[in-house]
Chain A
Amino acid sequence: MPPNQSEVLVESAAAQGKGLEERLSALNFYGGKLNSADNLQQVYELTLSAMEQLLGFEHASFLVKDRDYLKVVCQRGYTEQLSFKLPLDGSKKGITVAAANKGRPLIVDDVTKSPEYVPGSPEVRSELAVPVEIEGRTVGVLNVENRQLGAFDEKDANLLQILASHAATAISNLEKRQEIEKRSSQLTSLMRSSAEMIRSADLRQRLQRIAEAIEELGWRRVVISVRDENLQIARPEDMVTVGLTDEERRYLWDKRPPGHVWAERFGQEFQRFKVGEFYHLRWSDPWVRQKFSNGTVDSHLSADEMVDWDPQDLLYAPLKLAEGRIVGVLSIDDPTDGKRPTRDSLAPLELFIHQAAVAIENAKLIQQLNSARDQIREYAEHLEEKVKERTRDLKESEERSKSILTASPDAITVTDLEGNIVECTEQAWKAYHSPSREDLIGKNAFELIADRDRDRARSDMEKTLNSGLVRSAEYTLLTQDGHEYPAELSASVIRDAMDEPIGFVAVTKDISDRRRMEQQLLKAERLAAIGQVAAMVGHDLRNPLTGIAGAAYYLKIKLGAAMEPRATEMVELIEKDIEYSNKIINDLLDYSREIRLELAEASPKGIVKEALGHVTIPENVDVADKTKSNPKIVVDSEMLVRAFVNIIRNAVDAMPNGGKLTISSKQTDTDLEIAFSDTGLGMSEEVLDRLWTPFFTTKAKGMGLGLSICKRIVEAHAGKILVSSAEGKGTTFTATFPIEPCLSGGEVA
């Protein structure tokens, strides 16, 4: 209280002679008391007590402004409880209302003469009403009544004004304290909510906590919705609400505006509605009314709960991340205090806006993280599967390679760049006559090559390194025990993943057989050439032989009996040699000629008999023909006779000192065997080896074509001829024919 005012008061009290000293000290006393009042009721009581001390009156009351009314909150001296309400618009008059509206003390000396007076107690004659104001705002009225006319003067009014200002200060303090307490409780709840929110694992729960926290901060209905990049809500579950009935939830979901509408609501047009982060759309604004004429959910607040909040007001905020991206929307409604929000009142909510936004974003991130983790897990599993599959494939491929290597009839050797053997197949170590694979591994491949071929092999290896491949190089290879054999080698370079050469793989093939065959072929070709020449020569020899024969015959018939016995013998010698020459020519021609079979059914016995007829059997040779007539065979009899003649002649020749020739036939399965056994000299291994070779002969006479021709004839019949012999004991030739003809080799004429 300003000192000058006090002085005025003191002066006035002294003038009235009403114990001013006492009144001032009472005023001071109560001023102090009021300052430490704990609640409004105390303030009211203390104020009334002070008024009693200061003024003395019959009735006193403390009226408080409640919206558009004044109502009695504390009273003294009335016999009954005052419970009326005076409308502040003056419709029911009242001195207190007038004081409140005018904002200054009102002294009424005679209430009966005041138009404002509302009759109450009949004895009341005068009245004093002083408004209680906080920072120019009337919050109530102090009122006293007296039975005397003109009981109150200006000084009383001044005193009461001072008291009113004390009371106002006290009320203001209490309001502030209340506000602080409210804030404090909000903060407490905020902190608790934050803790709970953080503990809530899933997004819905977290948002629910946030909504509940907002509710605690004084909003009956809260809606938090999670939005996608287009501000759309994906599912009803993405809408978390507090204070909404199921029906309202459904309504909200059904009537949810599309994303672009929300984008607009956060846009330029709505900037003017911003209160901090919030947008407060006041229904009093005609533009808002026009824009939102569709109607919203009815308010849950009763009319008398509304202070300045309009049930149609809209209040929402974007749930925005620091970067500015909107991930959701918070809408709140029905403030419990019925008041329009202020920047201050909304400040604590802003914290939630950010928390909710972060929660939503985190949830999304977590979801992404989870799905990424799932993907990774799935991929890892897939990878594992892949690796398994690949391993299996590799194994299979390895097995395959291995089996290819194993199956290869050729020797395969893998060496390093120096030629040291690092791997080899069974064929390889066996070809070297090694006892085991391990024995060959580690050796240098050049050790396996004959001395004379080594340098060439080395230079071939260099070439391979350059060209990547060498094919069919022929070397003489060595076995461990020094045996040589011809081999063909193909090699290629093995490269690592970086395409660097790391060694060689070589395939070697033993070509001994091929060489032998080549030689045989060469020989056969040579023989064929010889045969052709022989045939030509033979044929040409027939002309001079004919001449000789004719000449000799002429001499024989011309001279006849006149010839000396010696001359006759000579002519006969000529004739005999002509015959022998002719035989040689025939053999040569037979040998060189293509065999053409003229098949017909024949009896084995018949063929043998005819053959025997062609050979002159010496007396010291015994022939036992045990050949059977059956089975009949389909053959070229003339050819077979010629073949058998050769065999029989050989047998006879093999028994210069006599012996026995046994001829027999035997049917086996599909074949017929005809065997010619003699008890002659037999043949050595060496002779047996070369027996079938043309021009091989042990005889002084003959070209050695007999058995060759014999073999050719038998083989032309798809038969075969075998020989077994023991030196000094004899020889057996066995010719085998299929009973049914299945020909090969020869042609059928």
Chain B
Amino acid sequence: MSEKARILIVDDDESIRKALTAVLEEEGYAVDTAQSGNEAIKKCNENYYNLALIDIRLPDMEGTKLLNAMRQDTPPMVKIIVTGYPSLSNAIEAVNKGADAYLLKPMVMDDVLKTIKEHLDKQRGARKYSEGKVAEFIESRARELEAEANVGNATQ
């Protein structure tokens, strides 16, 4: 893949944003950051991100709420909730609200990179599949049009 995967970090903690940005850029991702839920929503509307790391607690809203508020793209953006309050109910809630994964603070960077990579791979596979589908559709449509044209020519 030639194009860099785009990652949005949503966290109000500056050092987290900076440290994660440094690590992820070093790993070859295109990283953008948002300090609040609203900023995140705004950025999502303007740009496409393959993946978002969302802190569960944001100054203006709960991270789980943000999951629903962000634009639904195709293929869907991978949403990973980051929380400092580890508990099963927390995790279940996050997943129910549409999170693809769940990371605990303090984040162990190896784990973070691994999780991101896994989900991006999955996303790429899904895109390929849908790209294949589109190509197949276009091809079959083209054949149909061609056939129609042939029929038209014949009748003319």
Residues of A within 8 A of B (CB): 539, 542-551, 553-554, 557-558, 578, 582, 598, 749
Contact = CB atoms under 8 A, between A and B. Distances in A.
19 contacts: A542-B84, A543-B13, A543-B15, A543-B84, A543-B105, A544-B13, A545-B105, A546-B106, A547-B19, A549-B108, A549-B109, A550-B20, A550-B107, A551-B18, A553-B23, A553-B109, A557-B23, A558-B22, A582-B106
Nearest to A586: B86
Given A546-B106, A550-B23, A554-B23, 16 more contacts: A543-B15, A545-B105, A546-B16, A546-B105, A546-B107, A548-B19, A548-B106, A550-B15, A550-B16, A550-B109, A551-B19, A553-B23, A554-B22, A554-B26, A598-B88, A749-B89
Given A598-B88, A749-B89, A547 B109 contact: no
A539 B85 CA distance: 7
Interface in B90-116: 105-110
A724 to B, nearest CB: 35
A547 B22 contact: no
A542 B23 contact: no
A578 B106 contact: yes
Interface in B1-56: 13, 15-16, 18-20, 22-23, 26-27
A545 B23 contact: no
Contact of B18 (A547, A549, A553, A557): A547
Given A542-B84, A549-B106, A558 B26 contact: yes
A545 B110 CA distance: 15
Contacts, number: 65
B26 A557 contact: yes
Contacts of B26: 554, 557-558
Nearest to B109: A553
Interface centre among B27, B89, B108 (most CB of A within 10 A): B108
Nearest to A598: B88
A551 B22 contact: yes
B62 to A, nearest CB: 15
Nearest to A545: B106
A542 B105 contact: yes
Nearest to A749: B89
B16 A543 contact: yes
Interface residues of B, number: 20
A544 B15 CA distance: 7
A541 to B, nearest CB: 9
B13 A546 contact: yes
A236 B95 CA distance: 117
Contacts of B15: 543-544, 546-548, 550-551
A551 B106 CA distance: 12
A547 B89 CA distance: 26
B154 to A, nearest CB: 66
A563 to B, nearest CB: 15
Contact of B22 (A539, A542, A543, A550): A550
Contacts of A544: 13, 15
Contacts of A539: 84-85
B133 to A, nearest CB: 38
Nearest to A544: B15
Contacts of A551: 15, 18-19, 22
A578 B18 CA distance: 18
A701 B13 CA distance: 29
A544 B84 CA distance: 11
Nearest to A538: B84
Contacts of B27: 557
A542 B56 CA distance: 13
B16 A547 contact: yes
Contacts of B22: 550-551, 554, 558
Contacts of A578: 106
A178 B37 CA distance: 158
B135 to A, nearest CB: 38
B42 to A, nearest CB: 23
A582 B85 CA distance: 12
A553 B106 CA distance: 12
A593 to B, nearest CB: 8
Contacts of B108: 549
B146 to A, nearest CB: 53
A539 B57 CA distance: 11
A719 B84 CA distance: 31
B106 A542 contact: yes
A555 B18 CA distance: 13
A550 B19 contact: yes
B111 to A, nearest CB: 10
A546 B106 CA distance: 4
Nearest to A550: B19
B13 A547 contact: yes
Contacts of A558: 22, 26
Contacts of A546: 13, 15-16, 19, 105-107
Contact of A549 (B85, B89, B107): B107
The 6 closest A-B pairs by CB, nearest first: A550-B19, A547-B15, A553-B109, A545-B106, A542-B84, A542-B105
Contacts of B109: 549-550, 553
Interface centre among B19, B106, B107, B109 (most CB of A within 10 A): B106
Contacts of B84: 539, 542-543
A412 to B, nearest CB: 55
A558 to B, nearest CB: 6
B131 to A, nearest CB: 32
A553 B22 CA distance: 9
A749 B87 CA distance: 12
B106 A554 contact: no
Contacts of B16: 543, 546-547, 550
A557 B85 CA distance: 28
B138 to A, nearest CB: 42
Nearest to B15: A547
A67 B103 CA distance: 162
A249 B123 CA distance: 141
Contacts of A749: 88-89
A638 to B, nearest CB: 9
A440 to B, nearest CB: 60
Nearest to B108: A549
Nearest to B83: A542
Contacts of A542: 84, 105-106
B92 to A, nearest CB: 11
A554 B15 CA distance: 13
A641 to B, nearest CB: 15
Interface in B58-92: 84-85, 88-89
Contacts of B106: 542, 545-546, 548-549, 578, 582
Contacts of B18: 547, 550-551
Contacts of B89: 749
Contacts of A582: 106
A598 B88 CA distance: 10
Contacts of A554: 19, 22-23, 26
B2 to A, nearest CB: 23
A551 B108 CA distance: 11
A417 B15 CA distance: 78
Nearest to A539: B84
B84 to A, nearest CB: 4
Contacts of B105: 542-543, 545-546
Contacts of A550: 15-16, 18-20, 22-23, 107, 109
Nearest to B103: A546
A571 to B, nearest CB: 12
A597 to B, nearest CB: 12
A547 to B, nearest CB: 3
